[in-house]
């Protein structure tokens, strides 16, 4: 019976100490602290081979902000969008946002899009429409901007989703399609024998992922769908000190695409 209050007390002390730090800063809420939270215990808790896949994806060691909850991938988009002036593309535009993030969403709305649709296959609240990315219920060329941050790795027929993303974008439209992929693997890694939470967690890194993308396969699929690659390198915008301070994934480039 004593264990639970003890754990809560230790957590409380840890949070209080963390607040005193200044080495890290959340780019979204601007607060400073000592460290970001780890995702599920961080990289030391991942299977060895996951580490060796050389993932361009989430930074599990510098994951969540203790104040606003923004995770590394979300903070990274804020920084890329600022650096590239992409927020202006939202103004008066039609924007389709899959798996809308808690902080990114109001930021997009603050730039006054003419239409803003929040979409998810598993909506968590009434403001989000249930939309299947492989069968998007909108006409061709309905949107100027499409954001799907870490969505494709959850979709079995991701090539269908890419063709739908392309279809609903206007010519010269902008798509931001972040997904984790392995810089080691050339081909995607997925197998019908890998089913169930435990196997998916082990082989794909998360229970609800359905593959590990290989770099070549992933980028070829984007081009096959018709997209023009406008990949923006992390290193071109953020130095090591900035990367460390804001806890953003150094290996993740911005998967920016145009139609």
Binding region for Zn ion (CB under 5 A):
26, 28-29, 65, 67-68, 70
Dist. CA 119–CA 128, nearest whole Å: 5
Q: How far is the CB of 133 from Zn ion (least distance, A)?
A: 28
Shorter beta-carbon distance to Zn ion: residue 26 or 174:
26
Q: How far is the CB of 70 from Zn ion (least distance, A)?
A: 5
The contacts of residue 97 (CB under 8 Å, 6+ apart) are: 104, 105, 108, 116, 117, 118, 119, 146, 147, 148
Using an 8 Å Cβ cutoff, are 190 and 211 in contact?
yes
- Of the two residues 26 and 108, which places its CB atom closer to Zn ion in the complex? 26
Q: How far is the CB of 119 from Zn ion (least distance, A)?
A: 25
17 vs 229, which CB is nearer to Zn ion?
Answer: 17
Helix, coil or strand: residue 140: coil
Q: In the bound complex, what is the minimum distance in angstroms from residue 67's beta carbon to Zn ion?
A: 5
38 vs 36: CA distance, rounded Å: 6
Min. distance of Cβ 72 from Zn ion in angstroms? 11
Q: Are strands 55-56 and 181-182 parallel, antiparallel or unpaired?
A: antiparallel
User: In terms of CB distance, is 32 or 232 closer to Zn ion?
Assistant: 32
Name the helix (H) or strand (E) containing 144.
strand 143-148
Cβ atoms within 10 Å of 252's Cβ, excluding its own: 23
Rank residues 36 and 203 by Cβ distance to Zn ion and give the closer one.
36
Element (H, E) at 14: helix 3-20
Q: Which H, E and C letters describe 84-128, residue by residue?
A: HCHHHHHCCCEEEEECCCCCHHHHHHCCCCCEEEEEECCCCCCCC
Nearer residue to Zn ion within complex by CB, 24 or 94: 24
Closer residue to Zn ion, CB minimum distance, 68 or 184 = 68
The span from the CA of 162 to the CA of 206, in Å, is 22
Burial of 151 (0-12, 13-18, 19+ CB in 10 A): buried
The least distance separating Zn ion from the CB of residue 214, rounded to whole angstroms, comes to 33
Distance in Å, CB of 61 to Zn ion, minimum? 17
């Amino acid at each position: 019976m004593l264990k639970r209050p003890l754990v809560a007390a230790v957590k409380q002390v840890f949070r209080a100490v963390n607040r005193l730090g200044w080495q890290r800063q959340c780019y979204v809420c601007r607060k400073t602290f000592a460290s970001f939270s780890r995702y599920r215990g961080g990289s030391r808790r991942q299977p060895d081979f996951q580490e060796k896949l050389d993932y361009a994806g989430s930074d599990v060691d510098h994951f969540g902000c203790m104040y606003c909850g923004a995770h590394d991938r979300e903070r990274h988009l804020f920084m890329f969008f600022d650096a590239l002036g992409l927020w202006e593309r939202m103004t008066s535009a039609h924007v389709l946002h899959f798996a809308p993030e808690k902080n990114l969403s109001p930021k997009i709305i603050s730039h006054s899009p003419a239409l803003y649709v929040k979409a998810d296959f598993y909506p968590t609240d009434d403001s989000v429409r249930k939309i299947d990315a492989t069968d998007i219920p909108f006409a061709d060329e309905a949107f100027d901007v499409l954001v799907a941050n870490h969505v494709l790795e959850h979709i079995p027929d991701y090539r269908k989703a890419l063709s739908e993303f392309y279809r609903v974008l206007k010519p010269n439209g902008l798509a931001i399609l972040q997904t984790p992929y392995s810089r080691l693997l050339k081909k995607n890694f997925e197998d019908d024998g890998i089913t169930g939470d435990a196997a998916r967690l082990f082989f794909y890194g998360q229970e609800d992922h359905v593959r590990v993308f290989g770099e070549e396969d992933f980028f070829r699929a984007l081009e096959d769908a018709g997209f023009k690659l406008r990949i923006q390198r992390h290193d071109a915008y953020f130095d090591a000190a900035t990367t460390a301070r804001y806890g953003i994934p150094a290996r993740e480039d911005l998967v920016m695409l145009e139609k």
